[in-house]
Amino acid sequence: MSRRPFIRKMRRSWWLRRRRTLFYMMRELTSLFIGLYSALLALGLVQLARGSQAWDSFIALITSRGGVIFQLLCFAFALFHSVTWFAVTPKAVPLSAPAKAVIGAHYAVWAVISVVVLLLAGRFVDGSIQ
């Protein structure tokens, strides 16, 4: 038979070719940074349990230039992750409320939780562990 269907191979760089897929890969990459940040927090807890010296070295780490840059990067990616996630929730969960209200509600809850966490953190800083 003369048929010979031609199969096109997908290139490794498939995600670079269009803006839409590049954006998608960046979005997925955020999970890496969120994972790393979670590891950092876990490290902090471990160091805290180990005593004041270990804790001081942890503080030194996160206040160092590299440490700050890393955390800012994580914050940026977490922000990106959250914004893109909020934007698509109306699709994934079709509530009877209009999309804007659903997205708005997410931001509102996020703001409230952020405020609560910051207040609690402030409390601990005041009665800080020496």
Angstrom CA distances, 13 to 9, 19, 25, 28, 91, stand at 11, 12, 11, 16, 29
Q: Is the distance from CB of 79 to CB of 72 less than 8 angstroms?
A: no
Q: Is the distance from CB of 26 to CB of 18 less than 8 angstroms?
A: no
Chosen residue from 16, 22, 24, 69 binding another protein by CB under 8 A: 24
**Residues 25-44, interacting with another protein (CB under 8 A):** 28
| For another protein, the closer CB: 18 or 123 | 18
| For another protein, the closer CB: 1 or 125 | 1
Pick the piece of the chain touching another protein (CB under 8 A) from 5-13, 57-65, 100-108, 120-128: 5-13
Q: Does 12 sit near another protein (CB under 8 A)?
A: no
Q: Is the distance from CB of 77 to CB of 56 less than 8 angstroms?
A: no
Q: Does 56 sit near another protein (CB under 8 A)?
A: no
Q: Which of 15, 20, 31 is nearest to 81 (CA)?
A: 31
The full DSSP string for 70-99 is HHHHHHHHHHHHHHHHHHHHHHHS--SS-H
Q: Does 13 sit near another protein (CB under 8 A)?
A: no
Q: Does 86 sit near another protein (CB under 8 A)?
A: no
- The residues binding another protein (CB under 8 A) are 1-8, 10, 14-15, 17-18, 20-21, 24, 28, 88, 91-94
